[in-house]
């Protein structure tokens, strides 16, 4: 009996997993593939290898990558172990990459069927909840979390036990537990992966949290752009209710808790906890003044606790394995593991979960396999638009809240964008600022107007219209916005600019004073020319130019009309003789 499991996270589906699944299914139905059982699982984090198919024999798991319909047919035709099928085997290097990770939050992702509670239970699921409900007091639970050293994974890294304890100790009968699954950072998908691939893990973590603070109602605020996550979580909630893990008198313990989902309207700022609460209450998503903190006055002005998906996803493991097991991993300051979404100019991107204390170099080179096209590493942006960049000479910084903070970047929620020599740092800062400026809720003056003015200054710098004094003005605005904004969005928005100014100030100066873009990216500051000596007159460039800016006859050196050129770079990409240069 073979068990065939197709990876159907959003990434797998995007890569064509559904087609593979359907083909396999029809082959099984037609009796071509015999003695097989077909199921799905979530994302294992190696998105560049999708669609991934795992085949479980009685005693081993064989992983096939970048599969297609052909693979299904070959499997049916030639059988497991055949040369043709083995061509799809996962490369050893990728297996090693997985081995270098430590998976706690993602422990079931890609391994179990997220649509079946039985799979979760078989993997030890709901044992932690059982343990908690059979005799642990609220304080006992909070204490285990305290020992574990778990800190919020949503960005700020605040000790989880402290928030739980504050919510528990707040007077009042009616309390709420909220899960923040708004995940608005561009490029981040840690939370989506957890919900899509292991929804019961989240539910169990939340129930333990709800028990600890004394909440009878829990809400998951998911961004509406995550339809698959919403479907799987809805399904999981139903299953858990049917099993008596959710609802009245859970497992006969007397503890009751309802859970529901709220689809968020998709504004980045709604991920900020107080804005999220406003949004839950049906108001415009705008942050509230703190204090009072949600633990004192949150949802409907009742004591509330908000945690991130990944935070909750660690909880069942911690309860099952003990706080010490978690805190034994990591550094003095940061315990356990952290999930990152590794993207950008990296060879092997994807979702990775690593123990705290690893260096950036290890993550980027050992797990991510280094820089695409073997270009020069330039910097890594941590924490998305709220974070900062870390340059090459700080690559040995270890992953730890304090150490990362000291560079000017942040741990953040897990975005890790790798940049190479061709990235213009000014333009990068502009890109992130464009995001925050648009996403500002518009409430406070420094954030709404300050980010806009910064964006305008950055835009004029990359357009070659920068003026002396612009850097100083940027710095002044950065400080005013950091100091004067109400919520984290505004307070952190200047980080990309501050860190690039700190590590790459010369790039700003080159744009402003010399009207040059050192990375040769800013269109207003570059021009394309053909080196006559190298040009063989193959006409390829001229044929590819979308605006017919290139002229020249066959076998004669070509020329680019700078007036017409729109600097799309197609000619350079197509030239086989390296005859086109950027000035």
Partner 1 sequence: MDNVINLKINGKEVTAVKGQTILQVAKENGIDIPNMCYSEKVKVYGACGVCVVEAKGMPKLMRSCATMAAEGMDIETETPRVVQARKVALELMLSDHKGDCRPPCVKACPAGTDCQGYVGLIANGKFDEANKLVKDKFPLPASIGRVCPHPCEQKCRRQAIDDPVQIAFLKRFVGDKALESASSCTPDIAADTGKKVAVIGGGPAGLSAAYHLRRMGHGVTIFDAMPHMGGMLRYGIPEYRLPNTVVDAEVKAIENMGVKLVNNTKINAEKFNELKADYDAVLVAIGAWTSSKMRIPGEDAKGVMGGIDFLRKLALKEESGIGKRVAVVGGGNTAMDACRSAVRAGAEEVYTFYRRTREEMPADKVEVNEAEEEGVIFKFLCNPVEILSKDGVVCGIKAQKMELGEPDASGRRSPVPVEGAFEIVELDTVIMAIGQGTKAEGFEELELTRKGTIVADEKTYMTSVEGVFACGDATNKGADIAIRAIGEAINAAASINEYLGGKKRTFAETSQYDLYSSVEPTFEQIREKHSDKAPVQKIVMSHDNAEERKTNFNEFMHGFTEDEAIREASKCLECGCMDYYECKLINYANRYDCQPGRLAGSIHKAGIEDCNEFIIRDTAKCVLCGLCVRACEEVTGNTALGLVGRGFDTIVAPEMCLALDKSKCTACGLCVSLCPTGALTEKPAMKKAVPLKQTREESVCRFCTNGCKTEVVKHGTALLKVEPAEGVVNLCHNGRFGVCDDDFAYIECGSDYEAAVNAIVEDIKATVNLDLSKPAVAISALHTEAEAKALMAACKKALGDVPVFTLSGGKKLSGKDLELSNEANKQNGKDTVSDIYFGVSADGLAKAGVSSDMNVAKNSTVILAFGEDIDEKTLGISVVKLPNVFEKL
Ligand X SMILES: Cc1cc2nc3c(=O)[nH]c(=O)nc-3n(C[C@H](O)[C@H](O)[C@H](O)COP(=O)(O)O)c2cc1C
Structure tokens belonging to residue 353: 């979960």
Closest separation in Å from C-beta 494 to partner 1: 13
184 binds ligand X (CB under 6 A): yes
318 binds ligand X (CB under 6 A): no
477 binds ligand SF4 (CB under 6 A): no
Closest separation in Å from C-beta 311 to partner 1: 27
Sheet holding 258-264, edge to edge: 258-264, 217-223, 176-181, 304-308
Closest separation in Å from C-beta 155 to ligand X: 4
Closest separation in Å from C-beta 290 to ligand SF4: 11
Q: How far, in whole angstroms, is CA 180 from its chain's centroid?
A: 14
450 binds ligand SF4 (CB under 6 A): no
Residues contacting ligand X: total by CB under 6 A: 23
Nearest to 179, CA basis, from 191, 193, 187 = 191
What is the x/- site pattern for ligand X, positions 376-415, by CB under 6 A? -------------------------------------x--
Closest separation in Å from C-beta 447 to partner 1: 9
| Pairing of the two strands 217-223 and 258-264 | parallel
How many CB atoms are closer than 10 A to CB 456? 12
209 binds ligand X (CB under 6 A): no
Cite the DSSP H helix spans in 365-415. Answer: 401-407
Beta bridge partners of 529: 581
483 touches which of ligand X, ligand SF4, partner 1, none (CB within 5 to 8 A by kind)? partner 1
Written as one string, the DSSP assignment of 536-552 is ----HHHHH-TT--EE-
At 531, give phi and psi (nearest 5°): -80, 110
Quick one: which of 239, 343, 381, 440 contacts ligand SF4 (CB under 6 A)?
440
For ligand X, the closer CB: 287 or 518: 287
Closest separation in Å from C-beta 404 to partner 1: 21
Nearest to 296, CA basis, from 211, 178, 206, 172 = 172
Rounded to whole angstroms, how far apart are CA atoms 292 and 71? 58
Query: What are the Cα distances from residue 102, in Å, to 47, 92, 306, 355, 365?
Result: 18, 18, 26, 6, 17
Quick one: which of 114, 415, 490, 494 contacts ligand SF4 (CB under 6 A)?
490
441 binds ligand SF4 (CB under 6 A): yes
Rounded to whole angstroms, how far apart are CA atoms 302 and 324? 33
For ligand SF4, the closer CB: 372 or 448: 448
Closest separation in Å from C-beta 276 to ligand SF4: 12
Quick one: which of 205, 264, 287, 466 contacts ligand SF4 (CB under 6 A)?
287
200 touches which of ligand SF4, partner 1, ligand X, none (CB within 5 to 8 A by kind)? none
DSSP assigned state of 213: H
438 touches which of partner 1, ligand SF4, ligand X, none (CB within 5 to 8 A by kind)? partner 1
Closest separation in Å from C-beta 69 to ligand X: 37
Nearest to 487, CA basis, from 239, 276, 333, 248 = 276
Rounded to whole angstroms, how far apart are CA atoms 499 and 382? 11
308 touches which of partner 1, ligand X, ligand SF4, none (CB within 5 to 8 A by kind)? ligand X
How many CB atoms are closer than 10 A to CB 31? 8
Residues 6+ apart with CB under 8 A from 135: none
Encode 115-146 in three state secondary structure: CCHHHHHHCCCCHHHHHHHCCCCHHHHHHHHH
For ligand X, the closer CB: 158 or 300: 158
485 binds ligand SF4 (CB under 6 A): yes
Can you state the percent helix, strand and coil of the chain, rounding each to 5? 45, 15, 40
182 touches which of ligand X, ligand SF4, partner 1, none (CB within 5 to 8 A by kind)? ligand X
Nearest to 264, CA basis, from 200, 345, 161, 181 = 181
Which parts of this chain interact with partner 1 (CB under 8 A)? 267, 269, 284, 286, 289, 437-446, 448-453, 456, 473, 476-477, 480, 483-484, 486
196 touches which of ligand SF4, partner 1, ligand X, none (CB within 5 to 8 A by kind)? none
Q: Per CB under 6 A, which of residues 253..312 are in contact with ligand X? A: 268-269, 271-273, 306-308, 311
CA angle 295, 330, 144 (to 5 degrees): 45
Q: Per CB under 6 A, which of residues 404..433 are in contact with ligand SF4? A: none
Closest separation in Å from C-beta 219 to ligand SF4: 22
Question: Nearest to ligand SF4 by Cβ — which residue?
Answer: 490
For partner 1, the closer CB: 295 or 444: 444
538 touches which of ligand SF4, ligand X, partner 1, none (CB within 5 to 8 A by kind)? none
Structure tokens belonging to residue 38: 């077909």
* Contact yes or no for 198/119 (Cβ under 8 A): no
At 539, give phi and psi (nearest 5°): 70, 0
For partner 1, the closer CB: 190 or 269: 269
Closest separation in Å from C-beta 440 to partner 1: 4
User: From start to end of 188-244, where are the E strands?
Assistant: 217-223
Closest separation in Å from C-beta 413 to ligand SF4: 16
Structure tokens belonging to residue 566: 């729109």
Written as one string, the DSSP assignment of 413-449 is TSEEEEEETT--HHHHHHHHHHHHHHH--S-SHIIII
Quick one: which of 36, 38, 156, 540 contacts ligand X (CB under 6 A)?
156
**Which residues contribute to the site for ligand X (CB under 6 A)?**
152-156, 158, 180, 182-184, 268-269, 271-273, 306-308, 311, 413, 487-489
**Which residues contribute to the site for ligand SF4 (CB under 6 A)?**
269, 286-287, 440-444, 447-448, 485-487, 489-490
């Amino acid at each position: 009996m073979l068990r065939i499991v197709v990876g159907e996270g959003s990434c797998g589906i995007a890569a064509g997993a559904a087609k593979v699944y359907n083909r396999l299914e029809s082959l099984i139905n037609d009796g071509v593939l015999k003695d097989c059982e077909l199921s799905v699982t979530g994302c294992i984090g190696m998105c560049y290898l999708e669609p991934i198919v795992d085949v479980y024999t009685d005693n081993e798991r064989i992983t096939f990558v970048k599969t297609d319909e052909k693979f299904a047919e070959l499997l049916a035709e030639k059988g497991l172990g055949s040369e043709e099928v083995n061509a799809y085997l996962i490369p050893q290097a990728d297996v090693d990459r997985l081995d270098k990770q430590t998976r706690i939050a993602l422990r079931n992702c890609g391994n179990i069927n997220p649509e079946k509670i039985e799979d979760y239970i078989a993997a030890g699921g709901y044992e932690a909840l059982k343990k908690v409900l059979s005799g642990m007091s609220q304080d006992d639970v909070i204490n285990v979390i305290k020992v574990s050293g778990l800190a919020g994974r949503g960005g700020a890294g605040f000790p989880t036990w402290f928030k739980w304890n504050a919510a528990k100790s707040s007077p009042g009968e009616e309390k709420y537990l909220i899960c923040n699954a708004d995940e608005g950072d561009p490029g981040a998908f840690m939370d989506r992966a957890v919900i899509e691939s292991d929804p019961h893990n989240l539910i169990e973590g939340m129930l333990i949290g709800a028990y600890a603070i004394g909440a009878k109602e829990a809400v998951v605020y998911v961004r509406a752009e995550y339809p698959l996550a919403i479907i799987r979580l809805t399904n999981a909630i139903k299953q858990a209710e049917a099993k008596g893990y959710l609802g009245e008198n859970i497992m006969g313990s007397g503890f009751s808790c309802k859970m529901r989902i709220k689809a968020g309207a998709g504004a980045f700022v709604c991920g900020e906890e107080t804005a999220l609460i406003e949004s839950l209450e049906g108001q415009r998503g705008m942050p509230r003044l703190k204090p009072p903190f949600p633990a004192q006055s949150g949802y409907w002005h009742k004591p509330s606790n908000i945690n991130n998906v990944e935070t909750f996803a660690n909880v069942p493991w911690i309860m099952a394995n003990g706080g010490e097991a978690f805190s034994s991993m990591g550094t003095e300051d940061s315990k356990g593991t952290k999930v990152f979404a590794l993207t950008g100019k990296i060879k092997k991107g994807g979702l990775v979960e690593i123990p705290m204390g690893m260096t950036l170099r290890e993550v980027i080179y050992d797990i991510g396999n280094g820089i695409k096209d073997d270009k020069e590493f330039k910097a890594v942006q941590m924490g998305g638009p709220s974070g900062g960049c870390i340059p090459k000479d700080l690559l040995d910084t270890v992953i730890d809240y304090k150490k990362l903070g000291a560079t000017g970047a942040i741990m953040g929620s897990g975005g890790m964008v790798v940049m190479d020599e061709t990235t213009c740092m000014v333009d990068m800062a502009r890109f992130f600022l464009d995001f925050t400026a648009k996403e500002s809720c518009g409430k406070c003056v420094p954030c709404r107007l300050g980010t806009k003015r910064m964006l305008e200054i950055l835009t004029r710098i990359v357009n070659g219209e920068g003026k002396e004094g612009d850097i100083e003005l940027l710095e002044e605005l950065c400080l005013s916005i950091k100091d004067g904004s109400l919520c984290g969005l505004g307070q952190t928005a200047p980080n990309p600019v501050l860190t690039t100014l700190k590590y790459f100030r010369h790039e700003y100066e080159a744009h402003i004073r010399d009207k040059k873009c050192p990375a040769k990216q800013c269109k207003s500051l570059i021009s394309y020319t053909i080196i006559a000596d190298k040009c063989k007159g193959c006409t390829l460039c001229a044929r590819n130019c979308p605006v017919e800016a290139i002229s020249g006859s066959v076998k004669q050196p070509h020329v680019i009309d700078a007036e017409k050129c729109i600097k799309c770079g197609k000619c350079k990409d197509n030239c086989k003789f390296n005859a086109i240069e950027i000035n």
